[in-house]
Structure 1
Amino acid sequence: MAALEATREAQVTVRPFLTGSQDIALRHHDIDLRHHGDSEVGDGLVDFAVNVRTGAPPPWLAERLRASVADLAAYPDPRPARRAAARRHGRSVDEVLLTSGAAEAFVLLARVLAPRRAVVVHPQFTEPEAALEAAGHPVERVILGKDFTLDPAAVPADADLVMIGNPTNPTSVLHPANVIAALARPGRTVVVDEAFMDCVPGEPETLTGRLPVGVVVVRSLTKTWGLAGLRAGYVLADPHLIARLAEAQPLWAVSTPALVAIEACSAPGAVAEAEAWAVDLAAERDRLAAELARRGLYVVPEARASFLCLRVPDALGIRALLRERGYAVRRGDTFPGLGPDWLRIAVRDKTSNDTLLNVLGELGI
């Protein structure tokens, strides 16, 4: 228990953001920003590494996607899906750009924006930083401290581009909407990755309905609907920025099946189905978190997404032992702000989660 208490105390330390070209150059080599959960799976491993809902897409959506193949001879028409996404969030059509997943949105933003001081709030999904780097923009990191809650004052006042996830991958922390909105100011663009927001029943902290000036929201259908292979997402922002992003986007970037998925999943019935799933997910996630905490592990509190982030002594060793037993979990050391004692575990159904718990018990956890 002493080691676990030391683990908790270590959470208090806030690693300051780094500045200067030397620090930036070092930072580009210390972490593999392109390592993602799909790198952990394969070879018949039971997947607790990828944060995509299993057992999806549901039959009704799969049927719509199969039917869309009949239209592949024609070029994709994004207009119906764009209108549907706009209605879903109460936005105008010219505030919506459909993208080939959230990852394309980050690339487009990196290509279009010309920040003087770009800041990425970590730990979070690493593709926003990777996209900025690929576009030639120096990137600074703000590393959140204990329990990974956000203090807007931690972001440099002169940062003109800030990127943050909500709820955040990998910590599962949901930041209050008013705290995220407090980052907005004249001359600054705030990009909020809401790829996991539909994991939260009611989405109380989404900024899609209010969209403060200078705030850009990125959404994805990948997680809730099990569509990682389809690449379907969209950006919500002011019409001027949407137009600039559209100019930078290749023609017909979003396929016909992806457009069908966006339109279908934006319908009221689909939104209600996703809400019901999110309620069930929350109950099972909280149960799994409580069981892990009961075993003395530090689980980042108030998890709100479809995964848990936990600190385990020798997490990389535990990960290797789990792989030997046929289970894949996500290593944490490729997320800036975490390290070799962190793991991310996707929340599955009760039976699957209990099986993983049993294997952890066999390992003495």
Structure 2
Amino acid sequence: MIDSFNLKNYFFYFASFIVIIAGIKMASEVVVILFLAIFISSIFSTLLNVLEKKNIPRIISYFLILLIVVFISFMFAYVINISLNDFVENLPAYEEKFKNLIINSIHFAQVSGFEIDKQKILNTLSFSSFFGYTTNIIGSIGTFLSKFLLVIIGVAFILAESKSFQTKLKVIFRNNARKLEHFNLFSYNIQRYFVVKSFTSFLTGFIIAIVLSFFGVDYPILWGVIAMLFNFVPVVGSIIASIPAILLALMNLPLSATIWVIVLYVVINISISNILEPKLMGKELGLSPLVIFFSLIFWGYILGIVGMFLAVPITMTLKIAFDSNTSSHWIGILMSDLSRKRDKSKEVLN
């Protein structure tokens, strides 16, 4: 029988969770900026520590990193803005090419013996809506990057406070060394996750941009940036990022070249996401596919399209926090992908 006191605690925790989530959803615009500032700071704080170990003065290291953040942010915003404007100008031509591609495909199917109502398919398909949806997705990313100034300011303040924050933690946990050890472990794992994920995402986008440029696909840098950003979205991110580039390849390149583009997209994403990333990340940082799927839905609903990019980082942060504390370690195990710990699980069971 469940103890009435514990039952009241469970209801209290559940109600608190609902209130917190509702508050986050209502303040999603501010929360997104805060989360991004914290995550980006986690990445560059590692670089800040490396520069300090090289005996570079902290103030010089700080301004150097801030300059890098500003440069990367404005480069992304510039590339997406320029490419998007050019893409919108050429949209009518792409719509016509896409329509001709569908007509030729229907004709080929009819010649092969299939009975297809061409007019019905053309009436069903809305080419302008499809390309409009693609433009809206890229446009939303571009709009968000244009507001990235607030994130940069947040990163600047967090990095400036990072040294004093460590001192504050030592004061807070001066009588409890174990809690300080748990927090340091949590901080280390978070930094490692973001550094590795950012590196593999950049590598994915860089290689894809080179491949698309080699085959002559329009806007290779834009699709490389999109591939890099959508690499943070699990499961469906790489698929969504590949669709515009593959369609442009179908419209402008021979079928053989398009097949090569598709194959290389698959090879690049599988090699980096399923082989390189787990080796660099560490098996203990794996999330269950079920947790990834529902976190994508949940944070996408709470924070919008940016929440889909932040879904895995936020969930991974929670998992690492649970793993770093013995009292909540069991929650981290429930969120883990035990198939990547098969050997350890067998040892425990035996």
- What is the TM-score of this pair, normalised by structure 1? 0.26
* Greater relative contact order (CA < 8 Å, ≥ 6 in sequence): 1
Question: Which structure shows the higher strand fraction?
Answer: 1
TM-score, with length taken from structure 2: 0.26
Structure exhibiting the larger radius of gyration computed from Cα positions: 2
